[in-house]
């Protein structure tokens, strides 16, 4: 009997050790980023890793070429968190992605614009009638273009959209294969500096243009404190970047391969920040989604507020 008791005690001790190791096993947070967005800045500074290391949390960074692909990664579970512009979350919701809005940046309408070559005969949005306009389909600038055309009394059918990713659109713009290009920073700052491209209309006074911080619902609801800590780190990073633009420009130049001067221009019109969602911002995002539905670019109507984080419902 004593032998059995010793065996049971040893087994219990072993199981307890296994449980302790399991409980102590580091959690991994998977974050999607693009070379030019705020998560890239967070990655290069390393402050999130430093903070999470204290709690046994590992950060894994996964690079994506653009917002739509990143949100597909969020939907299939390859990442837990992402940051994109206004339009990708609406398209992701239409595709049944189970995501939530954790927060948003301040509005930054000066960071996207419709540009034309310096010698172009186009001097107003109205002059775009019948012209070929390059843009990334389903992106934030797609929303800007629709709003700008309607402000000028035109419709989306009055122009010929040429759907190209930024690198291809840049080449087409320089060769004269398109008449105008709707683009965001830092590509906007680069084409202005290197070709003398003129802005016909930016988003100021037209559409707000936010960066949204997004998470899979499974992650946000299952690890709410971790999600809040990431948002807090983004807030601290934003405060640092807004007051250290020269250093932030150097980091982002390394990340993207663009000149530091391009990033210095970009950061003068890009206020960073991380704020929790409000009814006003949800309403603005619903207007975006409804606009895309109206012009048939979004195949279904969506309820943006269905992606409200449970932590914000309490």
Strands 275-276 and 99-104: antiparallel
- The reported pLDDT for the residue numbered 222 is 94
Cα–Cα nearest to 115, from 165, 154, 173, 155: 173
* 139: region left, alpha or beta (phi > 0 left; psi from -120 to 50 alpha): beta
Strands 132-135 and 27-33: unpaired
pLDDT digits (tens, 9 = 90+) for 141-166: 999 999 999 999 999 999 999 999 99
- The reported pLDDT for the residue numbered 67 is 86
Strand ranges for 185-255 from DSSP E = 198-202, 212-216
Query: Which residues lie below 8 Å from residue 89, measured CB to CB, with a gap of 6+?
Result: 71, 99, 101, 212, 214, 285, 304, 307
The whole-chain average pLDDT of the chain stands at 91
pLDDT band at 14 (very low <50, low <70, confident <90, very high): very low
Distance CA(136)–CA(128), nearest Å, equals 17
12, burial (CB in 10 Å: exposed 0-12, middle 13-18, buried 19+)? exposed
Q: Which of 63-72, 137-146, 278-287 has the lowest mean pLDDT?
A: 63-72
The answer to whether 291 and 143 are in contact (CB under 8 A) is yes
181, burial (CB in 10 Å: exposed 0-12, middle 13-18, buried 19+)? buried
Q: What residues does each domain of the chain span?
A: 26-108+210-312, 110-202
The reply to whether 26-108+210-312 and 110-202 are identical in fold is: yes
Distance CA(222)–CA(231), nearest Å, equals 16
State the Cα angle at 270 between 282 and 60, rounded to 5°.
Answer: 75
pTM of the model: 0.88
Q: For residue 4, how many C-alpha atoms fall within 13 Å in the half-sphere facing its CB?
A: 1
Query: Which residues lie below 8 Å from residue 278, measured CB to CB, with a gap of 6+?
Result: none
Is pLDDT at 3 greater than 70 in this prediction?
Answer: no
Section 248-252 average pLDDT: 97
What CATH number has the domain spanning 26-108+210-312? 3.40.190.10
3-state secondary structure of 221: helix
Return the residue matching tokens 């399991």.
22
Torsion of CA 45, 46, 50, 51, to 10 degrees: 70
Phi and psi for 257 in degrees, rounded to 5? 85, 5
Distance CA(74)–CA(20), nearest Å, equals 30
Distance CA(193)–CA(255), nearest Å, equals 19
The answer to whether 125 and 151 are in contact (CB under 8 A) is yes
Whether domain 110-202 has CATH 3.20.20.100: the reply is no
pLDDT band at 9 (very low <50, low <70, confident <90, very high): very low
């Amino acid at each position: 009997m004593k032998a059995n008791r010793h065996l049971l005690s040893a087994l219990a001790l072993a199981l307890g050790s296994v449980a302790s190791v399991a409980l102590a096993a580091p959690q991994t947070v998977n974050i999607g980023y693009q070379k030019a967005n705020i998560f890239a800045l967070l990655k290069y500074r390393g402050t999130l890793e430093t903070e999470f290391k204290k709690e046994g949390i590992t950060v894994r960074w996964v690079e994506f070429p653009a917002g739509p692909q990143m949100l597909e990664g969020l939907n299939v579970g390859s990442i837990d968190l992402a940051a994109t512009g206004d339009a990708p979350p609406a398209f992701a919701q239409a595709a049944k992605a189970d995501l939530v809005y954790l927060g948003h940046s301040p509005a930054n309408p000066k960071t996207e614009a419709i540009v034309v070559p310096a010698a172009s005969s186009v001097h107003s949005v109205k002059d775009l009638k019948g012209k070929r306009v390059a843009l990334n389909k389903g992106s934030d600038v797609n929303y800007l273009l629709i709003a700008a055309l309607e402000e000028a009394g035109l419709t989306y059918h009055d122009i010929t959209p040429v759907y190209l990713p930024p690198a291809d659109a840049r080449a087409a713009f320089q060769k004269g294969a398109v008449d105008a290009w709707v683009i965001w920073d830092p590509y906007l700052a680069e084409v202005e500096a290197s070709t003398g491209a003129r802005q016909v209309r930016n988003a100021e006074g037209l559409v707000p243009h936010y960066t949204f911080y997004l998470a899979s619902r499974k992650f946000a609801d299952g690890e709410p404190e971790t999600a809040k800590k990431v948002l807090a780190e983004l807030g601290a990073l934003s405060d640092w970047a807004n007051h250290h633009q020269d250093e932030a420009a150097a980091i982002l130049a390394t990340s993207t391969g663009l000149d530091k001067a391009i990033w210095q221009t970009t950061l003068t019109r890009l206020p960073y920040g991380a704020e929790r969602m409000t009814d006003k911002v949800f309403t603005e995002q619903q207007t975006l989604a409804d606009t895309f539905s109206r012009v048939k670019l979004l195949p279904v109507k969506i309820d943006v507020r269905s992606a409200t984080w449970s932590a914000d419902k309490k």
